[in-house]
A and B are shown apart, each in its own frame.
Chain A
Amino acid sequence: MTAAVHPREILIATIARLLEGTRHVAVGASSPIPAAGAMLRRALQEESGGAPLRLSILGSVEHNFFTNGSAELFDCAGQRRIDAFFLGGGQVDGQANINLVGAGDYPRSAPRWPGSFGSAYLYFVVPRVILFREEHTPRVFVDKVDFVSAPGVSSPHIHRPGGPAALLTGKALFSFDKARRGFALESLHPGQDLAGVKAATGFAFAHGEAPPATAAPGARVLALLRGRVLDELSETYPDFAAQMRSELAALDGVPALAS
């Protein structure tokens, strides 16, 4: 019998897997799940005696090396000193264009979202950008974004060492094929099926006939996640860590992987 796993633990463990082989990962503001995934990757690499992973968690004091203000992240990224970063968006389309500005006709977008932050730069220069958006609905995953904060791919003459590597949602994991300019379904999270994910996605994507399930974390990974990672996370994201802990406590006695 497998232990009960929280759906967000699947996301965190998947992010940790997507970060394999990185040396420096940066995580932007308001990103508790990516931060947890990066902390889990660091803990796993440390346990296995692998190369140390450096994390720069924006908003953290303990897990942040920057001393040159908010420009340093971008300077670092421009020199390939950052291997992976996370971006999201109010809209993401099938060519991995992201929109963080707003829906409808710009400039009077409705709704207006906060803005592009560093996406229009980091998406170009960070080699492994992981698109992360928990909400998986047709209003988020659209055929074409209303505003391109940052494009998924660039014309061949444009300096573009970075770009999207994967898209992780609350329902599934996709990879991105730069040549084909499209996503391919890698796996479905527990409780999801292909028809449901297709219905929730406003763009077409490549997929196999029977996509595999997203791997659930094993006991060793869960122990690290529920212990060390939540401890580390609570410095920057106390509310999120506390909520995870209380939901994990409530998992006892609940059927595994219920969604």
Chain B
Amino acid sequence: MQSDLRALARRIEPGMRIALPVDYAGVSMAMTGPMIRHGAGDLHLVCVPTGGLQVDQLVGAGLVRRVETSAVSLGEAGGAPCFNRAVGEGAIEVRDATCPAIHAGLMAAQKGIPYMPMRGVLETDLLAHRPDWRVADNPFAEGEDPIVLIPAIRPDIAIFHAPMADRAGNVWIGRRRELAAMAYASAATIVTVERIVDDNLLGNEMSAAGTLPALYVEQVALAPRGAWPYGLWGEYATDVGELRRYAAAARTPQGFGDYMAGFLKEAA
């Protein structure tokens, strides 16, 4: 199993733009260790639309150049220690966004169009610090109507965790449609799953409706409890105690290093 995950991690090249899902949608924590061992750095992380433990660990491991996100935190366990430290030291670039702007950018990529307009955002400091976001006049309005344009976000690779895939590589994502949105927008998608089933997920309408077709999925690997310490919807709950242990440990670089040494040893 670990060799499969290491093979997935080898798809990541330095400088790539990597899309990662929000903490409740299906984070492939199982890939974090292999990604760190693989060591491809200078990454541009796109959080869909916010980030948590995985982002914090990748930043702490020094693999990240830029984080494009609407927020990064450990939820109930508090702030993201490595991310916050890196921001304070100026060690990473943050492209602060707002959730629907990330969705808009992915949607533009999905449709193969250069940008997507969205409401809100005007006269914010977010806009002031995002020269890549533009303001245009709504050409359909009778009067003045400025509207923000979000450029397409085209990640190189999307990585997430889901309950199941079938032998053909179709992945069941249920109602977590942001996982599909990530996959549609990304050049390639790699997925870890709790289990691989023999039935064809596209073979009946009930499961087909919640299935991301193999068309978008480059590789699938088995990783039981692969979201841990995050939970996976319909499968298991978040291990808040473990998140708190991490949050306490990672308050210092030394503590983060010690925690990750144990974590990487377990994943070996």
Contacts and interface: CB of A to CB of B under 8 A. Distances in A.
Interface of A: 29-30, 59, 61, 66-72, 74, 78, 100-102, 106-125, 147-151, 154-155, 157-159, 239
Most chain B Cβ neighbours within 10 Å, of A106, A109, A121? A121
7 contacts: A68-B177, A70-B99, A72-B177, A117-B50, A149-B98, A149-B126, A159-B147
Interface in B70-107: 70-73, 75-76, 79-80, 83-84, 87-90, 93-94, 96-101, 103, 107
Given A110-B88, A116-B98, A158-B122, 7 more contacts: A66-B175, A69-B177, A101-B96, A116-B70, A121-B101, A148-B125, A239-B76
A116 B75 CA distance: 14
A158 B123 CA distance: 9
Contacts of A74: 99-100, 103
Contacts of B88: 108-110, 112
Interface of B: 22, 24-25, 48-50, 69-73, 75-76, 79-80, 83-84, 87-90, 93-94, 96-101, 103, 107, 118-126, 129, 143-147, 175-181, 233
A117 B90 CA distance: 21
Contacts of A149: 98, 124-126
- The interface residues of chain A, by DSSP majority, are classed as loop
A68 B180 CA distance: 10
Contact of A71 (B73, B96, B178): B178
Contact of B124 (A61, A118, A125, A150): A150
Most chain A Cβ neighbours within 10 Å, of B22, B79, B125, B129? B125
Contact of A69 (B84, B120, B179): B179
B80 A114 contact: yes
Nearest to B89: A108
B211 to A, nearest CB: 14
A43 B105 CA distance: 39
A30 B76 contact: yes
B99 A118 contact: yes
Given A59-B24, A69-B180, A114-B72, A121 B99 contact: yes
